Amino acid sequence: MIYNYIESWILFQLSFFYGPKCETMDYFNSSGKKKLLTHNMGLLLLANLLLYCSVYLLIPVFPQWLIANWELAKPQAYFVTALYAAAMFLPGAFNSYLVDRFRRQSVFRISMLIMGVLSLLYPYITFFYGILLLRIGQGICFATAVMATGSTLVIDVTTSCRRTPANVVYTWAARLGMLIGVALAFLLETFIGIDMFLYLSAALSLVSIILVSMVEVCFRAPLGLPLLSLDRFLLPRTFLPALNMLMIPFILGALIGYRYDGFFYICMAVGWLVYVLVRSFLLGWFTPRLAVLSGVISIVAGLLLLQYTGAADLYIRLIAAFLIGLGSGSPLSHFLLMMVKLPLHCERGTAYHTHELFFEIGMMAGFVCSIYYTGNIYALLMIVALAGLLFYEFYTIPYFLKKMRSR
């Protein structure tokens, strides 16, 4: 029943944005290849949730460890923590070759195994440049793992008319894992040290490896692709909506960097889950533009509560977190759907990976900005949200409609 409800929600949402298509038919079809949430897809969803949980579990606590053990200033510690997001672009040109030359599951397993081992090495490094190298290495492994699953395996285990909803639900598993990881970090940081966080992160990586290894996917003969290409790396056609989408992860990253308590991020996750549950009931009332507008209004309302009622008030702070989580869902869904609709034939995986790279850059840009920016952070985030809304209305939507008409 839960699988069926999630599936119907995803398909209704696609019907709302694009009109009736094959994705919107057979909501509760449980037979064979037409089912969206199959056993394989379920394994990939859980693996993705744990993957993002393992990465974001370290984001709040890693700067504190750098400050305490390496005597870094806060801005430096935040910058080193965020370094992995920039490093995610390094393996991009090799992505297509890797998943063509080697089994996709093997690429994921090796990437996650290396990432987990690198986590365990942090306490034993005695020179600062070693920390930087480990952080860069983890960014490379993270990007490769995301590419091997989201841009490849998810497409392999779903039929062509189910790939758009598969991208949607797979991405939201990642966002939920992100929020769970952040909440756990703040809830546990007073009880356990960095060593235990590193062990826990590595353990989550190991479980995700096991889950992906259980996925049954047909062997694909190598196509003899070149060593370097933009395939499964960056798709320029999607850059405009990707840049517009940055406003949401920037806000979320800044709020993580501002370091609230764990319950704040739990309420943010609850707000997002409420959006997921009620979205299908509101589709008849909302146009895509109104959906994005309502999401931005909800985010700005949450920021206003933090600004004018004081973040020190527990209940107001939790309500604000709920509103921000609730409002984030609609714009993020909308931009993701735009980006996976714009690609031409055989470019879906590249579009999805572009989305994930830009999302991580936005998160870490906001994370670093939260410590470097000395002004009113809430005012800045409200300006970012409103500027993103204007950019969407005057540039992104016209661009998207023009590209779709020219296909």
| Residue 377 · residue 280 · CB < 8 Å | no
**Residue-level pLDDT at 164:** 84
Residues 164-212: pLDDT tens digits?
A: 888 888 998 999 999 999 999 999 998 999 999 999 999 999 999 999 9
Q: How confident is the model at residue 33 (pLDDT cuts 50, 70, 90)?
A: very low
Number of Cβ within 10 Å of residue 80's Cβ equals 19
Residue 328, sorted as left (phi over 0), alpha (psi -120 to 50) or beta, turns out to be: alpha
- Give whole-number Cα distances, 212 to 60, 104, 167, 259, in Å: 27, 10, 17, 33
For each of the domains in the chain, give its residue range(s) and CATH number, in order of start: 38-233 (1.20.1250.20), 235-407 (1.20.1250.20)
The tokens describing 302, both together, are 């949450």
Q: How confident is the model at residue 230 (pLDDT cuts 50, 70, 90)?
A: confident
Do you know the residue count of the chain? 407
Q: Select from 384, 370, 324 the least CA-distant residue to 316.
A: 324
Q: Select from 16, 286, 271 the least CA-distant residue to 168.
A: 16
The more confidently predicted of residues 233 and 134 is 134
Residues 101-152: pLDDT tens digits?
A: 888 899 999 999 999 999 999 999 999 999 999 999 999 999 999 999 988 8
The more confidently predicted of residues 278 and 215 is 215
Helix (H, G, I), strand (E, B) or coil at 231: coil
Tell me which of 10-19, 22-31, 148-157, 261-270 is least confident. 22-31
Query: Helix (H) and strand (E) counts for the chain?
Result: 18, 0
pLDDT at 22 over 70: no
Tell me which of 171-175, 226-230, 256-260, 348-352 is least confident. 226-230
The tokens describing 85, both together, are 């997001």
Residues 294-308: pLDDT tens digits?
A: 999 999 999 999 988
Stated pTM of the model = 0.90
Number of Cβ within 10 Å of residue 224's Cβ equals 8
| Residue 331 · residue 396 · CB < 8 Å | no
Helix (H, G, I), strand (E, B) or coil at 25: coil
**Residue-level pLDDT at 23:** 44
| Residue 159 · residue 34 · CB < 8 Å | yes
**Residue-level pLDDT at 159:** 80
**Residue-level pLDDT at 96:** 87
DSSP class of 151:
I
| Residue 349 · residue 155 · CB < 8 Å | yes
Residues 315-356: pLDDT tens digits?
A: 889 999 999 999 998 899 899 999 999 998 788 899 999 999
The percentage of the chain sitting over the pLDDT mark of 90, rounded to a whole number, equals: 65
Q: How confident is the model at residue 27 (pLDDT cuts 50, 70, 90)?
A: very low
Q: How confident is the model at residue 277 (pLDDT cuts 50, 70, 90)?
A: confident
**Residue-level pLDDT at 62:** 96
Q: Select from 332, 295, 301, 292 the least CA-distant residue to 319.
A: 301
**Residue-level pLDDT at 290:** 86
